[in-house]
């Protein structure tokens, strides 16, 4: 598919229809599926049109629900439409997805789902298609398609064909569980900033505010119910950061020591950066690197909210730089390489990833990872530690990548990953939903 021009992409961000929940949800789906934009880019645009938090939550539920069930919705649409809609009318197909999702999966009353979807079509200045929308949704009900068996296995699991094939090849016994967990709502984990508040003290604040949670020492809390993060106690004071428990393991595996010179490579938005600082306050110096200026700005924002920019002013260097050339940097005692990846381990948080990524992207990412890993290794001191991490579950990006690196570098060896009460592992591949964590991969290398 040809990529839209920059002007066309910019114009596509102008919402032309009146404020309406269903048409706004359809617009987001259109931007993601037809224009290749991420939900993180376009959801805030529609959220800004709806002040009620319940409406914003509904929008996310509809969009993410459609993305998680996209293969089924597409199969149903193919059965119900005589021919695909084209050009400016294409967005009505996305509106139909929202309507069918409500009929098949949501708690919306059937009559409301039909009438409101038809009404949204009229508001979108496609009055001529309102009869088609009504007929499609009525036929969906009449033919009871929601309860008809779907033969395609990838559609049953809600996966693109290419992801299904890779998972089937490498996780044949686990694919159903993996797919199910990919489609579940992710847990909300927070990392308490022990440099500003004690762990027990923060729990007291949560209790007083009426939150239910599970605490895991020394600094982790899992919230039992989702909610607005900015309303949690101590958000403005920097008492915590939202970070999945799998991602929190990076700092512990790196095990920063006093006076260490450390590189956090490909670091945005800075969650692991903050975890390193909070784990080792007596760090020598931490270089934090990312290639995109906007992403680097996110690091600065997070460091400021947590108070780390002032606390570590002389020990923290945040750099905008391509990680494929680290020649200007010093040598390091420890390096965390959170490599660019397919993000297949965090699909439950960002279901648009399934449809924005393509099979051909993986080979490009594997080459990029290899190039950055080579550069980082050159900057690691003898005896130093490098932690390689991805939020992927694809072996090409993980174990196969590290196996190839070890085969090519006689001065590299694995440092087994040990966890309390668990068997030591050469690598740690976390699958989505395992211990309620995101999918993640870790390998720890020592330079001989």
Long-range CB contacts for residues 406-413, cutoff 8 Å, separation at least 24? 406/445, 409/377, 410/448, 411/382, 411/447, 411/448, 412/377, 412/445, 412/446, 412/447, 412/448, 413/445, 413/446, 413/448
Choice among 121, 266, 341, 391 that is catalytic: 391
Distance CA(348)–CA(339), nearest Å, equals: 20
207 within 8 A of 177, measured Cβ to Cβ: no
The yes-or-no answer on residue 391 being catalytic is: yes
Closest CA to 271 of 190, 155, 355, 182: 190
DSSP string of 100-169, one letter each residue:
HHHHHTS-S-HHHHHHHHHHHHHHTT-GGGHHHHHHHHHHHHHTTGGGS----HHHHHT--HHHHHHHHH
Distance CA(350)–CA(40), nearest Å, equals: 9
Which region, left, alpha or beta, applies to residue 158 given φ > 0 means left and ψ of -120 to 50 means alpha? Answer: left
Closest CA to 191 of 218, 209, 227, 228: 218
Distance CA(45)–CA(35), nearest Å, equals: 15
47 within 8 A of 59, measured Cβ to Cβ: yes
Catalytically active residues are 391
């Amino acid at each position: 598919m040809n990529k839209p021009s920059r002007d066309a992409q910019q114009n596509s961000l102008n919402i032309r229809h009146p404020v309406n929940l269903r048409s706004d949800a359809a617009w987001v789906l259109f931007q993601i599926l037809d224009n290749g934009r991420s939900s993180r880019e376009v959801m805030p645009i529609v959220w800004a049109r709806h002040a009620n938090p319940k409406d914003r939550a509904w929008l996310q539920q509809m969009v993410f629900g459609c993305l998680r069930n996209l293969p089924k919705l597409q199969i149903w649409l193919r059965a119900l439409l005589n021919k695909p809609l084209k050009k400016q009318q294409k967005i009505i197909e996305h509106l139909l997805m929202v309507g069918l999702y409500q009929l098949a999966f949501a708690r919306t009353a059937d009559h409301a789902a039909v009438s409101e979807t038809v009404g949204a079509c009229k508001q979108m200045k496609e009055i001529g298609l309102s009869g088609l929308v009504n007929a499609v949704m009525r036929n969906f009900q009449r033919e009871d398609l929601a309860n008809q068996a779907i033969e395609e296995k990838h559609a049953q699991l809600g996966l693109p064909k290419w992801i299904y094939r890779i998972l089937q090849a490498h996780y044949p016994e686990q694919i159903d569980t993996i797919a199910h967990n990919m489609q579940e709502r992710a847990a909300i984990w927070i990392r308490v900033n022990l440099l500003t508040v004690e762990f027990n003290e923060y729990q007291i604040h949560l209790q007083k505010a009426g939150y239910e949670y599970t605490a895991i020492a020394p600094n982790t809390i899992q919230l039992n119910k989702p909610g607005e993060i900015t309303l949690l106690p101590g958000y403005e004071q920097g008492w915590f950061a939202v970070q999945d428990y799998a991602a929190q393991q990076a700092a512990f595996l790196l095990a920063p020591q006093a006076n260490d010179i450390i590189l956090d490579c490909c670091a945005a938005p800075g969650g692991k950066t903050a975890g390193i600082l909070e784990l080792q306050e007596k760090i020598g110096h931490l270089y934090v690197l990312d290639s995109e200026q906007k992403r680097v700005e996110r690091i600065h924002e997070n460091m400021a909210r947590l108070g780390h920019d002032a606390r570590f002013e002389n020990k923290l260097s945040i750099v905008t730089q391509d990680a494929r050339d680290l020649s200007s940097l010093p040598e390091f005692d420890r390096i965390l390489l959170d490599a660019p990846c397919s993000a297949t381990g965090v699909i439950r948080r960002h279901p648009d990833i399934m449809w924005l990524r393509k099979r051909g992207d993986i080979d490009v990412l594997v080459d990029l990872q290899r190039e950055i890993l080579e550069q980082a290794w050159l900057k690691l001191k003898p005896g130093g530690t490098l932690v390689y991490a991805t939020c992927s579950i694809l072996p090409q990006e993980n174990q196969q990548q590290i196996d190839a690196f070890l085969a090519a570098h006689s001065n590299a060896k694995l440092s087994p990953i040990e966890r309390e009460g668990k068997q030591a592992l050469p690598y740690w591949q976390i699958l989505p939903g395992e211990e309620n964590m995101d999918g993640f991969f870790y390998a720890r290398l020592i330079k001989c």
